[in-house]
C-alpha cells in the first residue's frame, strides 16, 4: 500500500524529479549489491589465505619429515658401505688389524 501510494505520488511530480528519484534508487541498490559482494569476496580471500597457510605449514612439516628420512637413509647407506669396506680389508689381510699396514709385506720398487 505504501509503495503504491508513493508510486502514485511520484507520477504527479515533474519528469526530472522522477528521473532523479529513479537514479537515487538504482544507486542505493547497486551500493547494497556491491557491499554484499565485497563482504563475500573478502571472506573468501581470507579463507583461501588461511587454508593456503595451513597447507604450506603441513607441506613444510612433511618436507622436513621427508628430509629427516632421507638423511637417516643416507646415513645408513654410508654406514653399510664403511662396514663393507672394513670387512673387505679384514678379508684381504686375515689376522692383521685393518688399521695397521705391514710395511714388510708391501712390494718393493726396483
> Could you write out the three-class secondary structure of 19-65?
HHHHHHHHHHHHHHHHHHHHHHHHHHHHHHHHHHHHHHHHHHHHHHH
Does 105 score more than 90 pLDDT? no
pLDDT value for 48 = 77
Does 110 score more than 80 pLDDT? no
In terms of phi and psi (left: phi > 0; alpha: psi -120 to 50; beta: otherwise), the region of 21 is: alpha
pLDDT tens digits, 12-49: 999 999 999 999 999 999 999 999 999 999 888 888 77
pLDDT value for 36 = 94
Give the separation between CA 56 and CA 50, rounded to whole angstroms: 10
Q: How confident is the model at residue 84 (pLDDT cuts 50, 70, 90)?
A: confident
Q: Where are the domains of the chain?
A: 2-82
Cα distances (Å, whole numbers) of residue 32 to 26, 27, 44, 66, 102:
10, 9, 18, 50, 94
pLDDT value for 46 = 81
Cα distances (Å, whole numbers) of residue 18 to 6, 28, 38:
11, 15, 30
Query: Which residues fall within 8 angstroms of residue 93, CB to CB, at 6 or more apart?
Result: 102
pLDDT value for 25 = 94
pLDDT tens digits, 51-78: 777 777 666 655 556 667 777 888 888 8
Amino acid at each position: 500500500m505504501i509503495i503504491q501510494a508513493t508510486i502514485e505520488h511520484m507520477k504527479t511530480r515533474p519528469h526530472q524529479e522522477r528521473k532523479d528519484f529513479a537514479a537515487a534508487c538504482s544507486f542505493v541498490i547497486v551500493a547494497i549489491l556491491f557491499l554484499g559482494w565485497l563482504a563475500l569476496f573478502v571472506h573468501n580471500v581470507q579463507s583461501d589465505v588461511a587454508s593456503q597457510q595451513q597447507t604450506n605449514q603441513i607441506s613444510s612439516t612433511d618436507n622436513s619429515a621427508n628430509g629427516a628420512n632421507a638423511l637417516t637413509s643416507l646415513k645408513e647407506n654410508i654406514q653399510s658401505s664403511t662396514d663393507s669396506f672394513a670387512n673387505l680389508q679384514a678379508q684381504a689381510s686375515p689376522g692383521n688389524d685393518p688399521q695397521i699396514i705391514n710395511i714388510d709385506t708391501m712390494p718393493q720398487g726396483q
